[in-house]
Structures are given as C-alpha cells and as structure tokens.
A and B are shown apart, each in its own frame.
Chain A
Amino acid sequence: GDSVTQMEGPVTLSEEAFLTINCTYTATGYPSLFWYVQYPGEGLQLLLKATKADDKGSNKGFEATYRKETTSFHLEKGSVQVSDSAVYFCALSDTGAQKLVFGQGTRLTINP
C-alpha cells in the first residue's frame, strides 16, 4: 500500500540555519504530495503542496519539489526562525483516492 517515510526527529537548529526535512514515498499511481505543519496544541495546517512531477510547492519561505525519479518531496527553508518550531508532516494522496496517508512527523525546534 501507499506509505510515507520522513527523516527521524527531533531536529534542533539555530535561528537562520538552513533546514532540510527528508520525505520519501511509495505509491501505486500518481500521487499529490503535501507538507502540513502542526504548532503546539493545535491541529494541522497545510503548508504547501505539489500535484505532479517536477512541481515546486512554496509558502512562508518553505519549498519542496516533487521528484518522481527519487520518489521524494524534501522540505527546505533557507533561514529558519524561532516561530518555525513545530511538527512537520509529509503526506500523499494517490490518484482518485479520498484520503491522505501521513508520515510519522518530524519535530523541529529552533533556538534563538
């Protein structure tokens, strides 16, 4: 079945550092890919998405490129801020599916 694997956390960085959170997937069709973010005590919010190969999703300085050849959708940000501290989830939705499959989440902490 479909699955998503994220890099293990927690990840701790200093402010203004470069961020990469790895995400790889397994799917039978042509999935759409998503990154969601969860701030403490809250539900998840969509951060960015990509619906086909080579698409780049971007939002709030975060970027991720849909790489079909490596089945990856790594999340990057050039300069992180303390306010980026949260849990980040990679997810996919396969062709025609009506539900999302989530990775296990990566907790990110940014120190001033």
Chain B
Amino acid sequence: DGGITQSPKYLFRKEGQNVTLSCEQNLNHDAMYWYRQDPGQGLRLIYYSQIVNDFQKGDIAEGYSVSREKKESFPLTVTSAQKNPTAFYLCASTPGGRGGANVLTFGAGSRLTVL
C-alpha cells in the first residue's frame, strides 16, 4: 500500500544534540512538507520541498534543516539551535502542481522529547 512512513515514532534527546527524523513516501509525490504540532497551536509549517534538490523555509524554520536528495525522502534535522524542540512532528506529501488543490497525505508522526 502507498503511504508515508515516519521514523522513529518516539525519540528522546538530550539538550545540545542534533536528531534526524526520517520521512519516506512511495506515492510518487513531488511535494513534501514538515509540520510541527503543539497543543492548542495547530500545525505550523517548518520546511517544504516541491521538487528534488530544492526546498523552502516555512513559518518556523529556525533551528531546523532538511535535504531532498531523492524524490521519496525528506529527512528533517532538529539542531541544537532549536530552543524548544519537544513536539509532535508530521511529514506530509502531495502530488504537486497548480491543480492539485493541495490534498495532503500525512504520516503517523514522530514525537520528540528533549530531556
């Protein structure tokens, strides 16, 4: 079945450590996204990529980095510069293009806790 796989589901990190969250999709989608979810704040866009080897900052990119070397993969690194990294992280994808009406397919999420 086609879908988005995020790993790990739960991750614990000590302060000052970088961590990388994996996102893989087999939907042949061009566009991929990373959102952060905090209680009562909805979803906020961190980074997105519309095509391989290209990505753009979202609303809260500071302290995060991404790469898009392959169409199916869009890993997110939470760096030590991110001051409040404890959150639920959601990866999503969409076919892309102007006519897609942006129906996103989401992964199951990764919960990061900083100790």
A contact patch SS = loop
Query: How many contacts A-B (CB < 8 Å)?
Result: 58
Residues of A near B42 (CB, < 8 A) are: 89, 102-105
Interface size class of B (residues with CB under 8 A): 20 to 34
Check A93 for interface membership: any CB of B closer than 8 A.
yes
Q: Is the CB of B58 within 8 A of A32?
A: no
Closest to B102 in A: A93
**Taking the nearest CB of chain B, how far is it from the CB of A1, in angstroms?**
9
Please judge, given known A-B contacts A93-B101, A96-B98, A97-B102, whether A102 and B43 are in contact too, CB under 8 Å: yes
Q: Restricting to A35-59, which residues have a CB under 8 Å from any CB of B?
A: 36, 41-46, 49, 51
- State the interface size on chain A (CB cutoff 8 A): 22
Q: Restricting to A63-110, which residues have a CB under 8 Å from any CB of B?
A: 89, 93, 96-100, 102-105
Q: Is the CB of A43 within 8 A of B98?
A: no
Check B85 for interface membership: any CB of A closer than 8 A.
no
Known: A51-B101, A102-B44. 20 other contacts (CB 8 A): A32-B102, A34-B102, A34-B103, A41-B108, A41-B109, A42-B109, A43-B4, A43-B6, A43-B90, A43-B106, A43-B108, A44-B90, A44-B104, A45-B106, A49-B101, A49-B103, A89-B43, A98-B31, A100-B104, A104-B40
- The 7 sampled A-B contact pairs (Cβ below 8 Å) are A43-B4, A43-B92, A43-B107, A44-B92, A49-B103, A93-B102, A98-B102
The 8 A-B residue pairs with the shortest CB-CB distance, nearest first, are A43-B106, A104-B42, A93-B102, A102-B43, A44-B106, A102-B42, A32-B101, A43-B108
